[in-house]
Amino acid sequence: MSSVAASSAPGNCRSVTWGRVTLVGLATVAAAVLANLVVYAIGGLVVGYDPTFLVLATAGGTIIFTIACAIVAVLVYGLILRFTADPARVFTRVAAVVLVLSVIPDLTYIPSVPGASGAQAAVLVLMHVVAAVVIVRVMTMLTRPSPR
């Protein structure tokens, strides 16, 4: 099985197999989807989604968009893992930038969508934050030092 060199700290290099990247990637996608479904459910109880606001009309949209974005994040982490000396730190920084960029439409475009409210936009922003935290936390476990 092929492997990729990964470093969690300067001078602390170990090998991570692509099989492990795949398994952690699948766990990442599943964890992000479950976390966002919890946010979706609680948001629906607290906010009460407007059925004309198609973005939050059903949980299906949450599932599909979370899966798609999480898969892209896993692929990006795989590339970062392959080409950088400190993948966890680089990925965390990339994820932070992507998170900031991802909420811009929630704050600028979403309020103009029929049925949207400030509270629903806040739920969307919270979903972005939750997904980012879960994805970064789970994916960077690949390169964290093992407890001794």
> pLDDT at position 148, please?
56
Residue 2 has pLDDT above 90, yes or no: no
Q: State both tokens at 131.
A: 């997904």
**Identity (one letter) of the amino acid at 93?**
R
- pLDDT score for 147: 59
Average pLDDT over residues 80-103: 95
Q: What pLDDT score was predicted for residue 142? A: 75
How high is the pLDDT of residue 16?
78
Confidence of residue 117 (pLDDT cuts 50, 70, 90): very high
**Residue 13: what pLDDT?**
39
Q: What's the pLDDT at 19?
A: 86
pLDDT at 102 over 50: yes
The C-alpha atoms of residue 55 and residue 61 are separated, in whole angstroms, by 7
The better pLDDT of the pair 141, 144 is held by 141
Q: Where are the domains of the chain?
A: 17-142
* pLDDT tens digits, one per residue of 6-48: 444 443 335 678 888 899 999 999 999 999 999 999 999 999 9
Residue-averaged pLDDT of the chain = 89
- Report the pLDDT value the prediction gives residue 6, as an integer from 0 to 100: 45
